């Protein structure tokens, strides 16, 4: 195999190597800008915060439902 620019095999291999290099660079820099896990974006307490927010949201919904029922239910004690 002769190492000259006129050899199509050399050009194909060089093109593939360049394409691989560009793909690796895009993946590396793309990964830094867009981390995959919420923990890496929001910190170690992410799952605890989500749990607390879910509980708080659920509690607010239950409180609103109790208030709605209290407004529509006649007070039998008085």
Report, as an integer, the average pLDDT of 32-38. Answer: 62
Query: Is the same domain home to 52 and 25?
Result: no
pLDDT at 41 over 60: yes
* Domain assignment of residue 51, given as a range: 42-73
Q: How many residues does the chain have?
A: 78
Query: Is the same domain home to 4 and 29?
Result: yes
Q: What is the domain count for the chain?
A: 2
pLDDT band at residue 34 under the 50/70/90 scheme: low
Nearest alpha carbon to residue 68 among 76, 57, 60, 58: 60
When the pLDDT of each residue in the chain is averaged and rounded to a whole number, the result is 80
Could you tell me what percent of the chain has a pLDDT over 90? 18
| Residue with tokens 């929001």, as numbered in its chain | 42
pLDDT at 57 over 80: yes
Let me know if residue 78 belongs to a domain.
Answer: no
Q: Answer with the residue of higher pLDDT: 1 or 54.
A: 54
What are the residues whose beta carbons fall under 8 Å from the beta carbon of 42, sequence distance 6 or more? 49
């Amino acid at each position: 195999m002769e190492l000259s620019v006129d050899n199509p095999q050399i050009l194909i291999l060089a093109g593939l190597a360049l394409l691989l290099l560009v793909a690796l660079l895009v993946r590396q820099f793309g990964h830094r800008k867009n981390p995959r896990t919420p923990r890496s974006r929001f910190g170690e307490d992410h799952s605890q915060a989500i749990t607390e927010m879910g509980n708080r949201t659920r509690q607010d919904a239950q409180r609103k439902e109790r208030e709605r029922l209290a407004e529509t239910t006649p007070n039998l004690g008085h």
